[in-house]
Chains A and B, each alone.
Chain A
């Protein structure tokens, strides 16, 4: 029973890590693109609104079954899950970064102008670092949501915690213990991220009101 749970935890963490390692740099690029070319904001907004109003499970099922049938390809469930979670991260993180970048720019642009600093230097040395720094609490909350979202991926066949728990439950018939362990697993993963978000908000006096 125990190795199965560790395996589920490993799958959850790998889904989370891949989606962020791929998704976050792309979000940052999108945010810079939107900032430099405001006309592209509409496309990014449509993309993030799509993910805001469409249940992740629906996207996951659609890409795993009908999309693959239509395209005549077979992609394993793990890769489909990484793809969908990456899109989820890109949609939400880009939205957070764009809003924060516009806000940060409004606050500091005057200082940059009167200090005689070039646009490129400002973007690289001040705007991006301050934007990421100010976005940290909201990005950590998104990270927690991403971990929760990995649970859905079990429904398309990934050997993930939730499905393993169901299988183990049918073998051992100890639902309370098993589901408690599963819940504890998610708490152990999410609590440090949530705690870090709260800590950073308080320590550096940043948060949603600035973003």
Chain B
């Protein structure tokens, strides 16, 4: 059972405080929606959880590993060595223009079977026809699905997604919905996704957190 915790976390930029002494726990097999108005700190929280930004105060705990969020070494050490179990899908995809879609998905992975798995995910999300194309030749929706595949082939214990449906149409949203549910069940992976799409949040999520008034509060997923 994997557990990711943000304990008494405070976030902000300069004098602007986004979260104060907020708490959040996600465990294996959960699909958690993170909801809140624009600019409330949802994306910042995801970035703090995977070690890209420092928090103002508080702790991040991954299973038995604890890091003082404000004093942690924010960089390669923390992001790629201490937290190999967490992967983030960015809102702006961050795909490399010199590589094809499949090369982007498997970048840095020399393990056998990675290409095969990437192709399976691509079939599930119906982007298998464009795996040999470079990102510039893909639509926003295709780029978004490729960036999700890039994260999934890494077998993360925690998959964090920032607005995963922002560029997807209704059908693609359904495919992603099915894939996220099957992957969390099959691999006991936990998913935390930031979204403004409340229908998607209700369909996919098992729980919801709402950022409100500088804090994170739990909410019934059916009532969001």
Give residues in A with beta carbon < 8 Å to B.
Answer: 107-108, 110-119, 121, 125-126, 129-130, 133-134, 203-206
Contact = CB atoms under 8 A, between A and B. Distances in A.
Contact of A111 (B81, B84, B94): B94
16 contacts: A110-B47, A110-B52, A110-B94, A113-B80, A114-B87, A115-B108, A115-B151, A116-B79, A116-B87, A116-B154, A118-B108, A121-B108, A125-B108, A126-B98, A126-B99, A130-B96
Q: Which of B81, B94, B134, B136 has the most CB of A within 10 A?
A: B94
A114 B107 contact: no
Contacts of A118: 76, 80, 108
Contact of B50 (A108, A114, A133, A203): A114
Contacts of B154: 115-116
Given A125-B107, A126-B107, A205-B136, A113 B94 contact: no
Q: At the interface, is chain B mostly helix, strand, loop or mixed?
A: loop
Q: Which of A107, A108, A110, A116 has the most CB of B within 10 A?
A: A116
A115 B156 CA distance: 10
A126 to B, nearest CB: 5
Contacts of A125: 107-108
Interface string B90-104: 100010111100000
Interface string B45-89: 001001110000000000000000000000110011100101110
A126 B75 CA distance: 18
A170 to B, nearest CB: 52
Interface residues of B, number: 26
B42 interface: no
Nearest to A108: B94
B150 interface: yes
A129 B100 CA distance: 13
A112 B98 CA distance: 15
A108 B108 CA distance: 14
Contacts of A134: 97
A206 B87 CA distance: 28
Contact of B108 (A116, A129, A205): A116
A133 B108 contact: no
A125 B81 CA distance: 19
Q: Which of A113, A117, A203, A205 has the most CB of B within 10 A?
A: A113
A111 B90 CA distance: 8
Contacts of A113: 50-52, 75-76, 79-80
Nearest to B89: A114
Given A126-B107, A204-B136, A205-B136, A114 B52 contact: yes
Contacts of A114: 50-52, 79-80, 86-88
Contacts of A108: 94, 96
A112 B90 CA distance: 12
Contact of A117 (B47, B80, B98): B80
A204 B97 contact: yes
Contacts of A112: 80
A125 B97 CA distance: 12
Nearest to A114: B88
A117 B154 CA distance: 11
